């Protein structure tokens, strides 16, 4: 095997940008790149290891011998080691053997910029390329029409390893998912899928949230090109793709980013800022320029190379606060004496600015569980710059309400109405996510009170209320057919349940709710604006009934929503409405097709000139038990 030759993909300008933390396409320079030098094919390797005394490439091509293929450090104090090794081909496994200046410590590390990794538990990086002929030109050219904030967002959250298994209980591949999953999502009508982290991770019970290969789709399900096929097929079906992205922490695995070159290279050197006690993982040093460039380059990489339409940023709250999960004395205030992590705030703003300035029609979504202000407001007005934020308060309050026996709900209607006081303070996404169906919380269906009929009526009512509520929507897999058991990442969803009417009915209801959401502009055009919502009556606690209007740009698109949160059938229930005319029914969660009781109003109802609820006109309804009914002027 030929020895290492001098070669570089870096220009002086690249190095200046890297040192300043402004190089957001580092994946084009660092890592392993198949190139041809003077007519000879091989691989150019480049790795950032400023505390190294020496760096060697070791792999199956040199029997993992340290020092046989040493890289050379650049002269410009960038800390980058590089070199060209002739003869290495795609598929070669490799690592970096790094001897540190710190007491001669030797580490053996996977490539932080590897495009592909060995299947865990193996830990080596694999020389690869990203050659692929994309077929989603139409989607990419019209993506803004699907992905803007005034478009419907109904997101199906998926853990690829446990959505469905084959007959032998093994994972479906990316290519198999490109058929089965795509067809299912299209059938049920979701507008987007959100994949729990698909970047390479060593430990299955982490669900993917402890990343090692930030630039590599996990090899559990196939090659990078196979994952591209999955994205391509989703786009062909008109479905957007959101990836969970984890810039908040990373594991201490020996081959990972931690203590990379014998120093705290990627993690903050102060354990009060550099270690996360909840997850026993390391925290990035957001104040270090090169680390910021690494993370922002990673975000850009997935959006650019994999045509991803959005990034949901995990655990933002843990990033924002210096005292997150820490007791007094375990954290240090910022320079102003506060608990906010100023480096993180600066980083998140820069990340969002870089994403939105580089791509049209993409979104970033923050999983942020506190009242930190202006998370989804532009940076130029002082916000963090995210497109949307998960509405964790809505999730908590709503599930707390629905878990109550219906006889007690009249005392707790404030659990539902309170969220409306701040629902437009951010661009909120309503999440019923994987976190709500694990660790003894029960499945969503399992939380519903009452006998079996009432449980499923409550579940359909919950989903109907969610889809009529302002904001984008997210539902974790299995919720759409009323999965009975908690989620188990080690197995498949309980697809056999769809043979039963109640479960099939929930699936039909979700499908119709998705269709309704996408077809009614009043449900999405102003979903983040107070102009898109108007109460009719939220004070009928005694009957546990709420009524409101969802409003679009055109008044003819407005719809009226009536929620009956008990199993008591309400005869001749009157509500005030905006104008005279006739109302037609759009949706009834109690319909027989959903395994409901089948109680309903006539298809057309006439408004009366009878003042009620502070309005000149009103109408009487039959309210089916535990139901959401939706109407529109004919």
In this structure, how many other beta carbons lie within 10 angstroms of the beta carbon of residue 275?
A: 17
Bridge partners, residue 69, by sequence: none
Contact 250, 284 (CB under 8 A): yes
* Set 82, 111, 309, 314: catalytic member: 314
Q: Which residues have C-beta within 8 Å of that of residue 414, sequence separation ≥ 6?
A: none
CA distance 46 to 57: 10
Q: Pairing between strand 570-577 and 617-623?
A: antiparallel
Q: Active-site residue 314, yes or no? A: yes
CA distance 196 to 63: 36
Query: By C-alpha distance, which of 229, 201, 202, 226 is closest to 215?
Result: 201
User: At residue 93, what are phi and psi to the nearest 5 degrees?
Assistant: -90, 145
Contact 222, 173 (CB under 8 A): yes
- Quickly tell me which residue has 């303070």 as its tokens: 425
Residues, the chain: 634
* Set 14, 261, 309, 367: catalytic member: 367
CA distance 181 to 177: 5
Residue 596 burial (C-beta neighbours within 10 Å; 0-12, 13-18, 19+): buried
Q: How far is CA 276 from CA 248, 267, 351, in A?
A: 9, 11, 22
Bridge partners, residue 52, by sequence: 100
Q: Active-site residue 16, yes or no? A: no
Q: How far is CA 631 from CA 38, 71, 191, in A?
A: 71, 69, 23
DSSP calls for 133-155: ----HHHHHHHHHHHSTTS--EE
Distance spanning both ends of the chain, measured CA to CA: 78
Contact 345, 353 (CB under 8 A): no
Contact 297, 267 (CB under 8 A): no
CA distance 530 to 427: 11
Q: How far is CA 300 from CA 135, 241, 296, 355, in A?
A: 20, 15, 6, 7
CA distance 616 to 17: 65
Contact 214, 165 (CB under 8 A): no
| Residues forming the active site | 314, 367
């Amino acid at each position: 095997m030929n020895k290492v030759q001098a070669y570089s993909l870096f220009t002086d300008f690249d190095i200046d940008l890297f040192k300043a933390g402004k190089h957001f396409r580092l994946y084009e320079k660092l890592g392993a790149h198949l190139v041809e030098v003077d007519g000879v094919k091989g691989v150019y390797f480049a790795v950032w290891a400023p505390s190294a005394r020496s760096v060697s490439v070791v792999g199956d091509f040199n029997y993992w011998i340290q020092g046989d293929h040493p890289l050379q450090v650049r002269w410009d104090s960038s800390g980058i080691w590089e070199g060209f090794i002739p003869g290495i081909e795609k598929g070669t496994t490799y690592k970096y053997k790094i001897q540190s200046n710190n007491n001669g410590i030797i580490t053996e590390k996977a490539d932080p910029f590897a495009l592909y990794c060995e299947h865990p538990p193996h830990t080596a990086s694999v020389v690869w390329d990203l050659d692929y002929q994309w077929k989603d030109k139409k989607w990419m050219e019209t993506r803004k029409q699907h992905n803007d904030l005034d478009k419907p967002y109904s997101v199906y959250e998926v853990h690829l390893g446990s959505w469905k298994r084959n007959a032998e209980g093994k994972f479906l591949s990316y290519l198999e998912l490109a058929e089965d999953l795509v067809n299912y999502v299209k059938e049920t009508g979701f507008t987007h899928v959100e994949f729990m982290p698909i970047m390479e991770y060593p430990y299955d019970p982490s669900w993917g949230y402890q990343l090692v290969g930030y630039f590599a789709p996990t090899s559990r399900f196939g090659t990078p090109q196979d994952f591209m096929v999955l994205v391509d097929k989703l786009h062909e079906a008109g479905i957007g793709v959101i990836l969970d992205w984890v810039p908040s922490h990373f594991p201490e695995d020996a081959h990972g980013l931690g203590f990379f070159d014998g120093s705290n290279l990627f993690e903050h050197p102060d354990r009060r800022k550099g270690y996360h006690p909840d997850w026993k993982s390391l925290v990035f040093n957001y104040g270090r320029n090169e680390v910021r460039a690494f993370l922002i380059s990673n975000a850009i990489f997935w959006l650019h190379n994999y045509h991803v339409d959005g990034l949901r940023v995990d655990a933002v709250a843990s990033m924002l606060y210096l005292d997150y999960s820490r007791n007094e004395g375990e954290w240090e205030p910022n320079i102003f004496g506060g608990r906010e992590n100023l480096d993180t705030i600066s980083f998140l703003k820069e990340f969002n600015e870089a994403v939105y300035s580089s791509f049209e029609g993409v979104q970033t979504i923050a999983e942020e569980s506190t009242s930190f202000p202006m998370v989804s407001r532009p940076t130029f007005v002082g916000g963090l710059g995210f497109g949307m934020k998960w509405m964790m308060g809505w999730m908590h309050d709503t599930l707390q309400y629905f878990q109550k026996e219906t006889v007690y709900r009249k005392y707790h209607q404030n659990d539902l109405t309170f969220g409306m006081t701040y629902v437009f303070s951010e661009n909120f996404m309503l999440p019923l996510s994987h976190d709500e169906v694990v660790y003894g919380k029960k499945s969503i269906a399992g939380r519903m009170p009452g006998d079996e009929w009432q449980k499923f009526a409550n579940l359909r009512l919950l989903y109907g209320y969610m889809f009529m509520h302002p904001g984008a929507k997210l539902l974790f897999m299995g919720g759409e057919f009323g999965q009975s058991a908690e989620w188990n990442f080690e197995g498949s969803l309980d697809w056999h349940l769809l043979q039963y009417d109640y479960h099939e009915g929930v699936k039909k209801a979700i499908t119709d709710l998705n269709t309704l959401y996408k077809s009614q502009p009043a449900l999405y055009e102003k979903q983040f604006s107070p102009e898109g919502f108007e109460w009719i009556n939220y004070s009928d606690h005694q009957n546990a009934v709420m009524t409101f209007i969802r409003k679009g740009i055109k008044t003819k698109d407005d719809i009226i929503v009536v929620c009956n949160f008990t199993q008591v059938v309400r005869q001749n229930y009157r509500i005030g409405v905006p104008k005279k005319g006739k109302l037609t029914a759009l949706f009834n969660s109690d319909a027989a097709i959903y395994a409901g009781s089948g109680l309903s109003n006539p298809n057309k109802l006439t408004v009366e000139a009878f003042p009620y609820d502070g309005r000149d006109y009103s109408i009487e309804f039959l309210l089916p038990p535990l139901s959401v009914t939706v109407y529109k002027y004919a």
